Structure 1
Amino acid sequence: MKHYQDNFAHNSLPTLDLQPEYTFLDLPQFQHPEMLNCVERLLDNHIKNGNGDAICIRTFEETWTYNDLYEKANQIAHVLVDDLGLVSGNRVLLRSANNPMMVACWFAILKAGGIVVATMPLLRAKELTTIIDCAEISIALCDSNLSDEMNLSKSTFLKQKCFFRNSNLEQLILSKPKIFHNLPSKADAICLIGFTSGTTGIPKMTAHYHRDILNICEAFPMYSLQPTSNDIFTGSPPLGFTFGLGGLVLFPMYFGASTFLIEKPSPDLLLKAIEEYKITICFTAPTAWRVLTTKLHEFNVSSLRKCVSAGETLALQVWQDWYNATGLKIIDGIGATEMLHIFISSNENNMKPGATGLPVLGYKAKIIDHDGNELPPNTPGKLAIKGITGCKYLNRIEKQKEYVQNGWNITGDIYKQDEEGYFWFVARGDDMIISSGYNIAAIEVESVLLTHKDILECAVVGLPDPNRGMVVCAHIVLKDKSKQSDELAKTIQQWFKEVAAPYKYPRIINFIEILPKTETGKIQRFKLK
């Protein structure tokens, strides 16, 4: 990797013996030359092929063609190299809501040979600092609307902050050329680091290659969506989630289609966009599909042809209600940050309502017991995946050994497989709470709560909720038990929202005298549930 001047990410990869086995890479659609920068296939080729005037990104306020995006990305790449001192292999933090400038920055970082670390807008300074320290990030590109927490973030690694939206980045690009020669990259060079939901303590960094980015575009969308250049994509997931990145940027651009980005995608705004801009493909979470169904009488969604759900399991009732109202079958899917995108799903021709589906082309799956033995049909067990992408944790050898076993990726989901090969969701690992599509690790919430001056001990569990799927419930032991009150519970909730991402806050707080524990001191969460 001599073409990388900053080798931190590559030197942090797990050794080959700890990485997963890859399958299906011999298929023609998953084969790539040794030298590969994925931006060329996703963006530059549209200009070379004469499609630069085609619409690429829309919002309620503006429209960008492929050429607009290409020129802006080239100019930002020049800023990164000339003004911000980026050298190839540097990690660049990207902090923004879903908007065209965020997409331009994403492509600019890869063009210049950097590695993108996209984050969610809701993260606070403490969480951003943890990410910056873990990935040794030297440059941040940030929407000026989100500057407060960015400026509060302190790290010795961060050398340059540059803001956009009527800010200094726009000033810097004015003098830059609209042509940029992409840094030559290898197909197996890291271009993206996705952080798993653990953003307190030491979160896990998942690395993905240039080839991974293109390979997922040949997997799930080809299997489930069959996109064409006439499609218009939209959805609610942030581009900091790989689910959102794929569904709202990579997939539409791979097929020369367009995407409609919404910075704060409420159900009403999603439906308004679908009606006014004739959206054809929509990505959102099961909780959103439930709400959208109740509002259908107010909007015309007849342009929709594909509806995708992921982030948490799709309840059969939600699927049925949407189908009854629209005649459209929601495509369920399971993916993981470690795997980059969806690896089990379905399409209209092979769908079983209630089942997640079958492995998409590029992946194979099985259900195993704790010893790695394959289980018979209809027996719940651990989901194991192998395919064109796989888990590559940076600097986390023990976690890598947990996730990758005998070449298989063990996702932490409990599934069962029926006689016809369909996979059915059973449960998540105990410590993961999936609420409104957000993955929230119980230990993250506990880590924050334990910093509160009044809290002695706490244990966090997920409780079923008809609207959110699950909600975060905190069982708290106070230092002074006489302080227990509804008022204190509200104070703790408000405090939590100020020190950590608000979507993680405990919506239910129970004050208890003592936490149930085993003889060895482990908290018995099942008793709290």
Structure 2
Amino acid sequence: MKPSGTASAHSDTFARDHLPPAGQWPELVFDLPELLYPDRLNCGYELLDRTAERFGDDRPAFRSPDGGVWSYGELRDRVDRIAHVLTDDLGVVPGNRVLLRGPTTPWLAACWLAVMKAGAVAVTVLAQQRPTELATICLLARVGHALCDIRSVEDLLKAQVPGLRVTAFGGGAPDDLTQLAAARPGPYRAVDTAADDVALIAFTSGTTGRPKGCMHVHRDVLAIADTFAHHVLRPGPDDVFTGSPPLGFTFGLGGLVIFPLRAGASSLLLEQAGPKQLLPALAAHRVSVLFTAPTAYRLMLDELDGHDLSALRRCVSAGENLPAATWQSWHERTGLRIINGIGATELLHIFISAADEAIRPGTTGTPVPGWQARVVDSDGEELPDGEPGLLAVRGPVGCRYLADERQSQYVRHGWNITGDTYVREPDGYFRYVARADDMIISSGYNIAGPEVEEALLRHPDVVEAAVVGRADELRGQIVAAYVVLREGAEQSADSLCAHVKSELAPHKCPRAIEFLPSLPRTATGKLQRFLLRTSPDPHGRVALE
């Protein structure tokens, strides 16, 4: 499905003008009744106004760590007033790009909803991103306006983006967004956007370097809720969501805003959401649905004692591969089955997953209803079950990069090629092997780095592990491991190697090991293996002849 002929509501046509050529679009698939959206659609109105109509204004929508609660009615009132500020005071017109920046709070989420209702395009960035990164994003997306938490303004101003108008919130000054909003009238009529008007530009989180802007339309925002959330997660209006991913990460935007609002549920928005903050928050606020990364689940295992998780019923993991050992340990300690999933910024959220009795530890799952997946070779030909190849996906959402030549690399033959190596098992389950660039070729052997990482993580002293290929004159590449140990554990490369050789073939054992205090990660928690590939040789080199 290519861009429709429906009239756009955007008077600023930059986003639509910079969509990829129609011939480079993936095939979009709408094979469920709930995905047959009308031509005119505003996702902000659907998520907020429609949900309030269905479930009532008095139901809780957003919760704060201090116990504060915004009802759906209160949220709608604040969102509408912010939308009035955008259009009446700041002069934002439909299609303008509006940067959103700050810690995860109800005010930041309200700003996102207001941008949606105003028909503008949200560019939500991470509070941790530095001036150079912010300047690059603003340049690529031609951003003219920014709504920014007062605590995150300094670096945004340092970015010195020409023509950028920054409106802060949370500071209490007369020109603060919250003060301006309080002075505006209440109800705001959402802009009558086309279903395929661009609603947001999400920038990739930087595991490979240069960011790419992924453009998603109003219809896409609802589609991820009506596929993964509706069919796999299956939330109800009494659920309380929380998690660690920030709203600048589409994993967080979906899990903490889109999914709960679509279901009439509420979301606890945490500014600090590391493992040590998550556990007490889960207990104190009776959280029932948790979104976080595999590393967080592993780290929380050591902190579980004394925390009441009796309200928790859904645990979702994405962002990187979930090791089977972590799944098993979490299940043994809590009785909860982690819902593993693979998603992508290019596709907005999770498209392969499984829940409840359908979960098979060590696999990602099966295509989410509404999505299709297969494993292909470099020519796009489907491979037989059991043979590793590139993961190809299509569904109601597809990759549309913002004016980026890498569009033709990601979309091939109508399919989105995610850059992951997978195997499709004969029973239809998809098993992760590695990122395509994580495959190590050593002395003619193909070695999947994540497989070695999982073996290392099964050692009782290992907290985190990353495995990459390092150039070697004799073997082409060797397996190099970077390891974070538990506090007080002995740094013994011999012990780790013996453990790996007890579980894997000898050629998969690391030939270089370095012990680090932490691994390089993006602000969203993704491991940055490319930094390890370009670092100097590990100090703890070991020979395993």
- TM-score normalised by length of structure 1: 0.82
> Is 1:236–1:265's contact at 8 Å kept on the other side of the alignment?
yes
Does 2:313 correspond to 1:313? no
| Matched AA of 2:385 | P
Aligned partner of 2:240 among 232, 241, 252: 232
> Is 2:8–2:194's contact at 8 Å kept on the other side of the alignment?
no
Matching residue of 1:206:
214
How far residue 164 of structure 1 moved from its aligned partner, in angstroms, is: 0.5
Matching residue of 2:138:
132
Aligned partner of 1:272 among 277, 280, 298: 280
How far residue 327 of structure 1 moved from its aligned partner, in angstroms, is: 1.1
Pick which of 165-174 and 178-187 moved more.
165-174
* Cα gap change, 1:503 to 1:28, in 2 (>3 Å): closer
Does 2:101 correspond to 1:95? yes
How far residue 114 of structure 1 moved from its aligned partner, in angstroms, is: 0.4
What SS does the aligned partner of 1:206 have?
strand
Matching residue of 1:110:
116
> Is 1:55–1:64's contact at 8 Å kept on the other side of the alignment?
yes
Alignment of 1:241-390 (within 5 A): 241-390=249-398
2: CA distance between counterparts of 1:298 and 1:362? 41
> Is 1:76–1:105's contact at 8 Å kept on the other side of the alignment?
yes
What SS does the aligned partner of 1:161 have?
strand
How far residue 68 of structure 1 moved from its aligned partner, in angstroms, is: 1.3
* Cα gap change, 1:463 to 1:9, in 2 (>3 Å): farther
2: CA distance between counterparts of 1:30 and 1:319? 32
Q: CA RMSD for the aligned pairs?
A: 2.9
Task: State the percentage of identical aligned residues.
Answer: 43
Matching residue of 2:425:
418
How far residue 429 of structure 1 moved from its aligned partner, in angstroms, is: 3.0
Matching residue of 1:487:
none
Matching residue of 1:121:
127
* Cα gap change, 1:345 to 1:209, in 2 (>3 Å): same
What SS does the aligned partner of 1:294 have?
helix
> Is 1:232–1:260's contact at 8 Å kept on the other side of the alignment?
yes
> Is 1:375–1:381's contact at 8 Å kept on the other side of the alignment?
yes
Matching residue of 1:453:
none
1: CA distance between counterparts of 2:31 and 2:410? 24
2: CA distance between counterparts of 1:462 and 1:161? 45
Pick which of 231-240 and 217-226 moved more.
217-226
1: CA distance between counterparts of 2:208 and 2:157? 19
How far residue 119 of structure 1 moved from its aligned partner, in angstroms, is: 0.5
> Is 2:41–2:219's contact at 8 Å kept on the other side of the alignment?
yes
* Cα gap change, 1:463 to 1:395, in 2 (>3 Å): farther
> Is 2:78–2:110's contact at 8 Å kept on the other side of the alignment?
yes
2: CA distance between counterparts of 1:58 and 1:370? 47
2: CA distance between counterparts of 1:6 and 1:200? 31
Alignment of 1:168-179 (within 5 A): 168-179=176-187
> Is 1:223–1:347's contact at 8 Å kept on the other side of the alignment?
no
> Is 2:58–2:72's contact at 8 Å kept on the other side of the alignment?
yes
| Matched AA of 2:293 | A
* Cα gap change, 1:204 to 1:176, in 2 (>3 Å): same
* Cα gap change, 1:371 to 1:178, in 2 (>3 Å): same
Matching residue of 1:48:
53
* Cα gap change, 1:123 to 1:386, in 2 (>3 Å): same
Matching residue of 2:26:
20
Does 2:37 correspond to 1:29? no
Structure 2 gap segments, 5+ residues each: 1-6, 440-448, 454-465, 469-478, 487-515, 538-545
Does 2:412 correspond to 1:405? yes
1: CA distance between counterparts of 2:16 and 2:312? 42
* Cα gap change, 1:2 to 1:188, in 2 (>3 Å): closer
> Is 1:127–1:200's contact at 8 Å kept on the other side of the alignment?
no
2: CA distance between counterparts of 1:261 and 1:353? 29
Matching residue of 1:472:
none
Alignment of 1:480-519 (within 5 A): 511=536
How far residue 185 of structure 1 moved from its aligned partner, in angstroms, is: 0.3
Matching residue of 1:161:
166
1: CA distance between counterparts of 2:146 and 2:207? 17
What SS does the aligned partner of 2:328 have?
helix
* Cα gap change, 1:52 to 1:330, in 2 (>3 Å): same
How far residue 140 of structure 1 moved from its aligned partner, in angstroms, is: 0.5
| Matched AA of 2:22 | L
Matching residue of 1:447:
none
2: CA distance between counterparts of 1:119 and 1:55? 26
Matching residue of 2:399:
391
Structure 1 gap segments, 5+ residues each: 443-460, 469-489, 513-529
Matching residue of 2:75:
69
- TM-score normalised by length of structure 2: 0.80
> Is 1:57–1:259's contact at 8 Å kept on the other side of the alignment?
yes
How far residue 315 of structure 1 moved from its aligned partner, in angstroms, is: 0.6
| Matched AA of 2:137 | I
| Matched AA of 2:45 | E
What SS does the aligned partner of 1:197 have?
coil
1: CA distance between counterparts of 2:324 and 2:260? 28
* Cα gap change, 1:502 to 1:283, in 2 (>3 Å): closer
> Is 1:357–1:423's contact at 8 Å kept on the other side of the alignment?
yes
1: CA distance between counterparts of 2:376 and 2:86? 47
What SS does the aligned partner of 1:344 have?
strand
> Is 1:287–1:467's contact at 8 Å kept on the other side of the alignment?
no
2: CA distance between counterparts of 1:331 and 1:465? 26
How many residues end up aligned between the 2 structures?
Answer: 460
